[in-house]
């Protein structure tokens, strides 16, 4: 999982309320990670 602020794609760089997310894993790994995060 990788995240990057969307503001880097905007000319004015003002959008600081959104992120871009990349899921470079299998669904099985993502589901396992989601369970861990939800337990926090």
Per-residue pLDDT at 15 exceeds 70: no
Mean pLDDT of 5-28: 76
**pLDDT tier, 6 (very low <50, low <70, confident <90, very high otherwise):** confident
Q: State which H helix or E strand residue 6 sits in.
A: none
Mean pLDDT of 26-40: 92
Instruction: Give the phi and the psi of residue 7 in degrees, each rounded to 5.
Output: -60, -25
Task: Let me know: does 21 contact 2? Beta carbons within 8 Å.
Answer: yes
Q: Exposed, middle or buried: residue 26 (CB in 10 Å: 0-12, 13-18, 19+)?
A: exposed
Mean pLDDT of 21-32: 86
Residue 1, pLDDT score:
67
Q: Please indicate whether residue 40 or residue 20 has the higher confidence score (pLDDT).
A: 40
């Amino acid at each position: 999982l990788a995240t990057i602020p969307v503001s880097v794609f905007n000319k004015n760089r003002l959008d600081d309320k959104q992120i871009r997310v990349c899921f470079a894993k299998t669904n099985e790994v993502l589901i396992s990670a989601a369970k861990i995060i939800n337990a926090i």
